[in-house]
Amino acid sequence: MYDLKIYSSYIVAAIKDKIVFFSTDGAVLHAITVEQKAPVKDTDAGNEPNGNQTQPTPANVVTFEYCPTAKLLAVSLSDKTWRRYQLREEDGGKLCSAPLGEDITTARTIVSMKFVPKHGVLFGTDKSDCFEFGALDKTSEPQPKWILGHMSQILALAVSDDERFIVTSDRDEKIKISSYPDCHNIECFCLGHTEYVGGIEIIPSEKLISVSGDRTLRLWDVTEGKELCKLSLKEPALDFTVQKVAEGSGMLCAVRSYVQNMVEVALVSYDKPDASDLYDPLTIDESLIILNAGLSASLRLMLLTMEKESKRVRMLVYEFCAEKRAFKVCDDHPFVKNFEDQFKDVTIEQVRDYSTLFKHTIDNLTEYFERKKIKMESKKSK
């Protein structure tokens, strides 16, 4: 279990049961270790404790979300619970934190989160449903309220800046734009992808960027569901991170590829869609697997990676060079060393399997029906 996110003031990384806040320059500000549940005492047939203790499965971080205005961290755990931490700034810029309230239990694991501060809530999605939690209400326990669902697996979640729209995408190629808080009112669908839609981001001028397993990056008009631009990627896309460039209407996109050591790079223009363009991809050493990527406001790219042989985690940092339209490595960046110090010898036992997201089709229906006919005849003969 792992995640990496970049906010305006912090870089936050989580691996297994540890969450670390770094400054945008890479300095360590605070570390949180998820408190595990106490062992459960076994009982014999007469329901009397027999002295043995059952160790519960460790609750590791699945994902998290930070709300800068409330200084609140929401963390989803692998034991189908999520919890809140209240953060506070100390002298010298360091942070401290304290758990807020009790753990909240959900029917299924929450896999993506977005704070909606104007409404004082948190959106969280599990495999196929989206829920609303009153996470910013510190006086009560935020129980889940169902607000919308999909017929297939939800892969990404986005919220418009004015909090009027919730955007969700799924394994069945759909991007759904729902009104909020009247989520039963579907504004439109963005249709056109032919494989799963792994990443979506709302950008200025009511535009939306999406990436998909169909090897395309697309720009949409959120209000109409109209496709404005399509770029052909070299490989299927898993997800992406995006930031606005300093000048003009360009959005720099770093697209995490299905090829485990590659990030594809694109500049999307939301005012002049036809000016959007693909740059040369960034390819790292084949001995590494890219687990997650984050792009800062200064166009600094952070790659959370894993060594294939040792399974150890590593952080790579790159600076974007506008003249060369490419990322260049920063081996001496403080974030690299500080990350290593915080997660020294930490390993990832299992990497997420994205192959299951692709549709499996039967290419030769004639052959399929022939096999089915033979199978049915053999059953009759018995």
Residue 140 · residue 134 · CB < 8 Å: yes
Rounded Cα gap, residues 284 and 373, in angstroms: 50
Mean pLDDT (the chain) is: 93
Amino acid at 163: E
pLDDT of residue 45: 56
pLDDT of residue 382: 61
pLDDT exceeds 70 at position 28: yes
- Segment 7-21 shows an average pLDDT of 97
User: Hey, CA dihedral for 322, 298, 267, 11, is it positive or negative?
Assistant: positive
Buried b / exposed e along 185-200 (16+ C-beta atoms within 10 A): eebbebebbebbbbbb
Rounded Cα gap, residues 74 and 319, in angstroms: 30
Q: How many CB atoms lie within 10 A of CB 291?
A: 20
The pLDDT tens digits of the residues spanning 326-363 come to 999 999 999 999 999 999 999 999 999 999 999 876 55
pLDDT of residue 114: 98
Residue 49: pLDDT band by 50, 70, 90 thresholds?
low
- Torsion on CA atoms 65, 239, 335, 285, rounded to nearest 10: 150
pLDDT of residue 193: 98
Domain ranges of the chain: 1-35+57-149
Residue 130 · residue 148 · CB < 8 Å: yes
Residue 82 · residue 124 · CB < 8 Å: yes
Rounded Cα gap, residues 227 and 221, in angstroms: 7
∠ Cα 272 273 279 (to 5°)? 110
Phi, psi of 371, deg, nearest 5: -65, -40
- Torsion on CA atoms 193, 195, 200, 205, rounded to nearest 10: -10
- Torsion on CA atoms 228, 230, 231, 235, rounded to nearest 10: 140
Residue 270: pLDDT band by 50, 70, 90 thresholds?
very high
pLDDT of residue 359: 85
Q: Kindly state the percentage of the chain with pLDDT values over 70.
A: 93
pLDDT exceeds 60 at position 200: yes
Residue 243 · residue 295 · CB < 8 Å: yes
pLDDT exceeds 60 at position 44: no
Residue 245 · residue 259 · CB < 8 Å: no
pLDDT of residue 53: 65
pLDDT exceeds 80 at position 370: no
Residue 41: pLDDT band by 50, 70, 90 thresholds?
low
Rounded Cα gap, residues 241 and 251, in angstroms: 10
Q: What are the beta bridge partners of residue 108?
A: none
**Whether the bond into 49 is cis, omega within 30 of 0:** no
pLDDT of residue 42: 60
The pLDDT tens digits of the residues spanning 77-100 come to 999 999 999 999 998 889 999 999
Record: fold of 1-35+57-149: Methylamine Dehydrogenase; Chain H (2.130.10)
**Which pTM was predicted?**
0.90
The alpha carbon of 362 is separated from its chain's Cα centroid by a whole number of angstroms, namely 31
- Segment 68-83 shows an average pLDDT of 96
Residue 37: pLDDT band by 50, 70, 90 thresholds?
confident
Residue 248: pLDDT band by 50, 70, 90 thresholds?
confident
